[in-house]
Amino acid sequence: MGKLILFTFLFVSLLVGADMLKVGQKAPDFALPDANGKIHKLSDYRGEKVVLYFYPKDNSPGCTNEACNLRDNYTALQDRNLIILGVSYDDGESHKKFAADHNLPFTLLSDTAKTVAEMYGAKRGLLGFIGAKRITYLIDENGIIIHVFDDVDTKAHSRQILDVLDKSEASKEEK
């Protein structure tokens, strides 16, 4: 019985990470380097909508699918005045290679200390192993979270984002 309880505790701790942020909350500011070492702050993007997407690992199958889907639909996302920022635990060299290998036109940020992932509920762990959680935040021009994607379809993430924007704009027009 004790082993079952221990196993259950370990399994649940693997699945549960920090709480993700909620719609309506102010997105926490951060400062992270891109692949070239340039520091980006969320506050640098005030006045613009930001897609802040957290992903587990450069060049892994799901993360590559997600990044390439965003790349393939980048023009449509830019037409909606969206800034795309990808965040993972990988370092700048890994991001340079990932971006070059897949012709990614958007910025990838390195959260090697895992602090920003912690702030955004994109971190989970088990016995000292810290894994990244795939989650995306859509942040408005004032730094307020307007949507949280916690069930990301890596092959159609751009469509998920655009659908949310379409619904949001349609509801504004009805008012």
Q: What CATH number is given to the structural domain containing 87?
A: 3.40.30.10
DSSP 21: P
Is residue 16 situated within a structural domain? no
pLDDT band at 85 (very low <50, low <70, confident <90, very high): very high
Number of structural domains in the chain: 1
Return the pLDDT at 7.
Answer: 45
Is residue 81 situated within a structural domain? yes
Is residue 100 situated within a structural domain? yes
How many CB atoms are located within 10 Å of the residue 133 CB?
19
Is residue 23 situated within a structural domain? no
Sign of CA pseudo-dihedral 96, 100, 101, 103: positive
CA nearest to 48, candidates 82, 21, 91: 82
Catalytic residue among 27, 32, 63, 145: 63
Is residue 161 situated within a structural domain? yes
What is the arithmetic mean of pLDDT over 65-93? 97
Q: Could you tell me the two tokens for 99?
A: 């971006």
The values of phi and psi at residue 97, to 5°, are -65, -45
pLDDT band at 131 (very low <50, low <70, confident <90, very high): confident
72: containing domain? 31-174
Contact present, 132 and 55 (Cβ < 8 Å) = yes
Return the pLDDT at 170.
Answer: 76
- 15-29, 36-50, 105-119, 141-155: which has the minimum mean pLDDT? 15-29
**In the predicted structure, residue 1 carries a pLDDT above the cut 90:** no
Catalytic-residue membership of 63: yes
pLDDT band at 13 (very low <50, low <70, confident <90, very high): very low
Is residue 94 situated within a structural domain? yes
**In the predicted structure, residue 63 carries a pLDDT above the cut 70:** yes
| pLDDT tens-place string over residues 149-169 | 999 999 999 999 999 999 887
Q: Say how many Å lie between the first and final Cα of the chain, rounded.
A: 57
Is residue 127 situated within a structural domain? yes
Q: Under the phi-then-psi rule, with left for phi > 0, alpha for psi from -120 to 50, and beta for the rest, what region is 146?
A: alpha
